[in-house]
Amino acid sequence: MKASNAPAARVTAEQNEAASLIARLLPFIRERRMESGDRLPSERLLAERFGATRAIVREALALLEAMRVVERRPRSGVYLTAESRVGSLDAIVMRANLGLTLDESEANSLNEFRSILEAQAVELACVRRTPEDIARMDECMERCRAQFKRNESIGQASADFHLAIMAATHNQFLLRAAHSFYLATRDWREVLFTDRKVCVSSIREHQAIRDAIAQGNITRGRSVIKAHFIVADGYWRDFLVPAAPKAGKVESVKHRRRRGPTSR
């Protein structure tokens, strides 16, 4: 049994070390004001600079390549890609899974993207919803209330409610985009929704959104989703933007998770 568990533990350790290195590499790239098309230092130089093994540097660069931040050019080296300035939703999800924080601009843009996406979704859901869609929203609401009574985080149930709204649009691309947002903010949401005041506000507002969609009332739907996002924006602005690093250290989401959300 011990022999079979050892490889898995080693892979996890390597991934953690690679994520830690990425958390130092990204600020290094920004501080040097590197542009798309610029060549990164060699694996040997990066290993020396950051005190890492060549294997960990290669793992970190492979992850950055998957996030479209860098690209490998045969017999030439590793270069910043044009996408490194724009990125993709998949890259944001991958960064979140690695425990890397968003900078202020990214956090604000991500929240703005969600607001625009879901405001349009509510309008479509008012027109296209089916009884099955409303039943799905009700099931999510029931889970939220049950978990709240048990003093549990309602983070996933809340996300599922919003995804039920997206599903009610019957537009698969809107739903896919929303999935990316909620995957990228999964860990933050689990902590944020341990706050009882946040839960009470969220459940109340979700019920108003559900009722507007069930009634097919587009005007009411626009109003309640707008009010919901005004409240949510305050929480996310405080919580998603990383705290200022101390003594040159980059703080990961995993570390912030232990502290819980910033109080308003």
pLDDT at 134: 98
CA 113 to chain centre: 12
Rounded CA-CA distance 147/155 in Å is 10
pLDDT tens, residue order, the chain (264 aa): 444 443 334 445 777 788 888 888 888 887 888 888 899 999 999 999 999 999 999 998 988 888 778 899 988 999 988 654 555 676 777 666 666 666 677 777 888 888 999 999 999 999 999 999 999 999 999 999 999 999 999 999 999 999 999 999 999 999 988 988 888 888 788 888 988 999 999 999 999 999 999 999 999 999 999 999 888 777 766 665 544 343 333 343 344 443 333 333
pLDDT at 96: 67
Which pair of tokens denotes residue 1? 């049994």
Rounded CA-CA distance 147/158 in Å is 11
Question: Which residues on neighbouring strands pair with residue 107, listed in sequence order?
Answer: none
Domains and CATH numbers, the chain: 2-87 (1.10.10.10), 92-259 (1.20.120.530)
DSSP string, 160-215: HHHHHHHHTTT-HHHHHHHHHHHHHTHHHHHHHTT-HHHHHHHHHHHHHHHHHHHH
- Tell me the pTM: 0.66
pLDDT at 87: 58
pLDDT at 97: 64
Closest listed residue to residue 185, CA positions, set 256, 263, 250: 256
pLDDT at 187: 78
